[in-house]
Amino acid sequence: MEKTDLKNFTQEQLIDYLQREFKLPAFHGRQIFNWLYRPDITEFSQMTDLKKELRAKLSETARISLHTIAKKERSEDGTVKYAFRLDDGEIIESVLIPEEDRNTLCVSSQVGCAMGCDFCLTATLGFRRNLTPAEIVNQICTVINDMDEEMCCSGDKKSGCINNLVFMGMGEPLANFDNLLTALDIIMDQRGLDFSGRKVTVSTCGLVPKMRELGEKAPVNLAVSLHSVDDEVRSRLMPVNRKYPVEQLLQACRDFPLPKRRMIMFEYIMIEGVNDSEADARQLARQLKEIRCKINLLPYNESPDSDYKCPPRAKCEAFQEILIKAGYTVFIRSSRGSDISAACGQLAGRN
């Protein structure tokens, strides 16, 4: 009999499951949920405030999952790429980006991706399947367990090892919506991984019908992979634009229930000769009016599998300057982990 993975449950779902299957009171459910997300907990025998009989009974029908690290690569800039082998043999990748005062983990939501973006290596895999809530959450748990104490900004492995989460890895998060919401509940639960919604960012290529629902159900940051506001160009780069064109996407951004003092982040991969002209910058500035936002310019990470090229730095800076003069907050993001294929658009699970 296949054992039930308890990390697939939110706290309330776990309480219901334990009451139904084991007749356990709610306080036991809260105890067990809290244990699941402590660093290095892999066995029920480690839950020392539970009776031995209960621990033995749980181990007969339930399990505490954790990912197997299939490969771990460290970039010259300190970025670490993890390849995790799932129970069915599939591979997903996560990227740990260390900085002086914080660590950011880039998390995957699917095996492969169905969106078919022309510049993204993950798209070459096609769509394999959605990740379960446990498979999403365990990327965080496994990396925390693997990190050295000195990498933890606060010295506390549970709360200090990883400071920010970005759902920008393999897959389209909003295409795995229900499992994403369950994982976010666990991630932000105080007895779970205890992340503030301000420290969690979910990126989408533009699945318009799910954007508002995300804002209503999860107090997280929204990032939108935009890359062009010209429908012809964006449809060539991102097939999703044929179903949800630019105006529908930007209207969904205007309608997004944005908490006070937060902004939508627009991600804009700059590709030489495609979307990097001064006219493109001026058009972008006009289209984003009335949206509380900031803009990340991401010079394209070149790959032998693609003919696209990265624009010269001076061209990126000229593009940035036009947007700044139009009143936007704009960053040119330096590529991290490109030497180990861990940069934006390079995750392909090919280990």
SS3 content of the chain, % helix, strand, coil (to 5): 40, 20, 40
Max Cα-Cα span within the chain: 70
Helices 133-146, 177-188: crossing angle, 10 deg rounding: 40
Q: 129 has which bridge partners?
A: 111
Give the integer Cα–Cα distance in Å for 68 and 46.
20
Residue 21 token pair: 């299957």
- Which of the following is catalytic: 106, 117, 310, 344? 344
Catalytic residue among 93, 135, 172, 267: 93
What's the rounded Cα separation, in Å, for the pair 159 and 141? 11
Closest CA to 173 of 146, 143, 213, 145: 213
Query: Do residues 186 and 193 touch, judged by C-beta distance below 8 A?
Result: yes
Query: How far, CA to CA in Å, does 70 sit from each of 22, 144, 231, 298, 338?
Result: 35, 16, 40, 29, 20
Assess whether 344 carries a catalytic annotation. Answer: yes
Known catalytic residue: 117?
no
Q: Where are the alpha helices (DSSP H) in 229-309?
A: 231-237, 240-243, 246-255, 278-287
Contact call for residues 30 and 102 (beta carbons, < 8 A): no
Which residues are catalytic, by number? 93, 344
